[in-house]
Amino acid sequence: MKVYFLPIFVRQFSRLEFGLQQEATEKIEFFKDKKNHKQLKAHQLHGRLAKRYSFSVNYKTRIVFSYLSKNEVVLLAIGDHDVYDK
């Protein structure tokens, strides 16, 4: 799967502590194989984010993304549950 990054995602990612950046990078690589989506708890969001999806980096941190096509996604935001409010 091809992964693209919005500039805001890149800014949010750069503000994370180094260890969390490493963990997120590993999860993004893991996410590229669709077979791992269930293990990452990838799921569709609801309400005003209904056309977006999310997966877990760890217990606290989430990545919000959208599908561009069957094999392409764009990462929109990264952070704790407050990321759903942005």
| Mean pLDDT score, 66-81 | 93
Interval 19-49: pLDDT, tens: 999 999 999 999 999 999 999 999 999 988 8
| Mean pLDDT score, 54-64 | 94
pTM for this model (two decimals): 0.91
The H or E element that residue 4 is part of is strand 2-5
Q: What structural domains and CATH numbers belong to the chain? A: 2-85 (3.30.2310.20)
Residue 86's pLDDT band (cuts 50, 70, 90)? low
What is the predicted pLDDT for the residue at 80? 86
φ and ψ at 11, to 5 degrees?
-65, -45
